[in-house]
Amino acid sequence: MAHDSEKKQRLHLVFGGELTTLTDVHFRDLDKLDIVGIFPDYESAHIAWKSKAQMTVDNAHMRYFIVHMHRLLDPEND
């Protein structure tokens, strides 16, 4: 049981991959998706996302995303 003083866990997934075009989110190869990780809050997910995005800046088709898993797991309590 979580204590009231603990920060509420709001899970975020960071992942990326190479897209087939610059205008659509359709991955070239699902087997090559880069699953960066699951993070306990948006701030840490954003740091990981930014780092990966900056490492792949030379490949315009490579994109990274942040998925708000907490919204999927509990849509009533955003």
- SS3 string, 34-53, reads EEEEEECCHHHHHHHHHHHH
Question: Amino acid letter at 54?
Answer: Q
User: At the topology level of CATH, where does 16-69 sit?
Assistant: Alpha-Beta Plaits (3.30.70)
pTM equals 0.84
Q: For 32-71, what is each residue's pLDDT tens digit?
A: 999 999 999 999 999 999 999 999 999 999 999 999 999 8
What is the C-alpha separation between 62 and 33, in angstroms, rounded? 10
At 1, the pLDDT band (50, 70, 90 cuts) reads: very low
At 75, the pLDDT band (50, 70, 90 cuts) reads: confident
Q: Which two tokens stand for residue 7?
A: 């920060």
Q: Where are the domains of the chain?
A: 16-69
